[in-house]
Copies of this chain bind each other. A is one copy, B any other.
Amino acid sequence: MTLKIGVIGTGMIGRDHTRRIQNVLAGAQVVALSDYSSEAAKAVQADLAPDATVHATGQELIAANTVDAVLVCSTGSTHEDYVLAAIEAGKPVFCEKPLATTAEGAKRIVDAEVAAGKRLVQVGFMRRYDSGYVALKDAVVNNTGAPIMVHAAHRNPAVPEQYVTPMAIHDTFVHEIDVFRWLLDDDYVSARVTFPRSCAASHAKLRDPQIVTLTTAKGVVINTEIYVNCKYGYDIQCQVVGEDGVAYLPEPQAIKMRLGAKFQNEILTDWKDRFVASYDVELQDFIKAAAEGTATGPSSWDGYMAAVTCDACVEAQEAEGSAIIISNPERPALYN
């Protein structure tokens, strides 16, 4: 009854998921590995999965009889083909974000999955599995009354020189795009971007910070500050304002101290620490569904909607201050 998993891409995240499956989670083992660098795949094999087979290509791995389910952790531009191959093979596939590099690519995956007639794809939007967001959603459903506004912030201490304005959408804000759709059970209808003066750490190709305003089909307005050079820490803030009250995303656990004339607790500085526990939960969820031949959690439809919204937000950056309409194609029944 152990699910046999093949991992495509053995970089940082592929290695980490392999460790997770081998040493932390129940019900699965890694039986196959592949990477464009076979050395990298062999290193993970040696360290974590000595019984796994190293395949020459991802496509070969997907086709292998020994493989029940697939993890796609390779570079983003390769995702679409691997996911389509896995759907073709009828094997559940967990795909790290992005599902595809274009909305059109994501749409092809949706179409293939709908043609296959059942959910096979889970996208790696791990925030839905964070205990804080899960509790926040519970509060929104049960306590705040119907939501009307969301005030959010995505702050990061610093970014490298090659980080440019559109990456604030595709690499950073994409997490909010997915998690707010899920949190509010809603779809976006427009996007607007406002730029304050840029912070001192910005440069010619990066306007930082920025405020993205999304409106939803139900009339909710979501303001999110994106500030990737905020210096002080990696900090994800979210409050939902409803008919009856306000609920806040919890802060990460931290020891409060009285020390040196300060009442204080540490703020994380590395994004990798913020949602670390949710990776375990999302992958356990994948294992459980894959053992039954299907997939759950963030779907290829969610991945497609994220891609469509990202495109609108980048357009909104360029049209500074103007609202860009987001058209929502009809949702196939498979995703209801």
Contacts and interface: CB of A to CB of B under 8 A. Distances in A.
Contacts of A148: 196-197, 199, 209, 227
Contact of A26 (B25, B153, B262, B323): B25
Interface string A126-141: 0000011001101100
Interface in A79-122: none
Contacts of A253: 131-132, 135, 250, 253
A223 B152 CA distance: 12
Contact of A256 (B131, B250, B254): B250
Contact of A321 (B143, B244, B323): B323
Contact of A243 (B151, B199, B258): B199
A247 B243 contact: no
B200 A243 contact: yes
> For the side of the interface on A, what is the size category?
35 or more
Contact of A149 (B135, B209, B231, B254): B209
Residue among A221, A244, A255 having the largest count of chain B Cβ atoms under 10 Å: A255
A144 interface: yes
Contacts of A231: 243-245, 260
Contacts of A323: 321
A205 interface: no
Contacts of A233: 258, 261
Contact of A247 (B21, B256, B260, B262): B256
Contacts of A209: 148-149, 241
A143 B259 contact: yes
B241 A259 contact: no
Contacts of A21: 26
A59 to B, nearest CB: 29
A137 to B, nearest CB: 10
Interface in A248-304: 248, 250-251, 253-269, 284
